[in-house]
Homo-oligomer: A and B are copies of this chain.
């Protein structure tokens, strides 16, 4: 039903049927309009935005879009309206959008804002966008520990603008975070109970520089709805809420998948021109091309062997294909183990040794099949089958080891290991495989 609505909006925008579009938008939830915006080309997105007169609805839509798309839209909105929209957004979302604006516009917008809002924004903007500080919401529901449940309930009734209240954070006289209580706890204890008597003193919190992936891991492990961010003195700076965590988890998964395929980050086909997609992908694939030229040169060295035994050429694809697939599997396993924290705890040498053993088994398994085929097909040349079997074993073990080693190394030097499963590792493994294959055949067949 919601998706049918999205589809209608998309059609009306494409048909440029502005009056009907306007009526439809008025009857549609902000979330569904945002979903429709995601499906439109940039020019249509701007037109659609022009059709929405209601500022608070527009601000809500902005919150649902990812910050980069949002920033792209804002450039065509009149400056006055932009500032109004910013003021209507929850401060964490506002900070995300402002962080993605072009430098001069960002400064202009920040200057147009005032007081508390500006100060809070500057606090958030001081942290990297993918850190706990960068995604936190500075307004948490917090009270002193000597207050009672009754006080807390009245405070809650008065706290108008705390959009996402999941927990009540309890502070001591030095404003340090000392406990946490659930809203339900406030209701189920007698009204006169002091907060410090009913709160849980075991509060899980993180410093603002924590990476957002780590924040997601903690929220997930402890099934939290919000995680408090504290400074070194345990003073509460803000909270990261579960809805932001869902976005982080999704974002990281997509990012990994894109990197693994050697694609850029933004894949939304409606938003990228064909030429931009081409350019982004071309850069990555150039590596394959350069590797390919290297392999052509390498194979050329073995021209003599090839002229005598053209059949050797026939096995090039299977050598590369098997090596590439085993290498990709090994790299994927390494990337996963790094992501889940297994890599650190199990230890790199054990993981490598394990993968090498799996690789050896795979290599032997394939060698029996492929060598057997070669023996049966060219039974007058038993050495051919043997060379093929031996090179395949070496290639597969090497692919398994390299496939695992590269992401582990990348991770150690601070590069996202997901890059490794893309064209990067495949091309490297291919080059080594060609060398192993022709080297082995050259030795054994002469």
Task: Give chain A's interface residues, CB within 8 Å of chain B.
Answer: 2-3, 6-7, 10, 29, 31-32, 34-35, 38-39, 64, 153, 156-157, 165, 183-184, 187-188, 218-223, 225, 242-243, 245-247, 249-250, 253-254, 256-258, 260-263, 267-270, 274-275, 277-278, 281-282, 284-286, 288-289, 291-293, 295-300, 303, 306-307, 310-322, 324-326, 328-329, 331-333, 335-337, 340-342, 344-346, 351, 354, 357-358, 361-362, 365-366, 369-370, 373, 421, 423, 426-427, 430, 434
Contacts and interface: CB of A to CB of B under 8 A. Distances in A.
A254 B336 contact: yes
Contacts of A316: 299, 313, 316-317
Contact of A7 (B268, B328, B345, B351): B345
B289 A358 contact: no
Nearest to A306: B310
What 9 A-B pairs are tightest by C-beta distance, nearest first?
Answer: A292-B318, A253-B253, A296-B314, A313-B313, A261-B332, A299-B314, A278-B361, A295-B317, A306-B310
Number of copies: 2
Given A39-B346, A281-B329, 10 more contacts: A153-B187, A249-B250, A261-B421, A262-B328, A263-B333, A269-B351, A292-B317, A299-B317, A300-B314, A320-B321
A270 B317 contact: no
Contacts of A257: 253, 256-257, 260, 332, 335-336
Nearest to A313: B313
B318 A295 contact: yes
Contacts of A157: 187-188
Contact of A184 (B6, B165, B245, B286): B165
A159 to B, nearest CB: 9
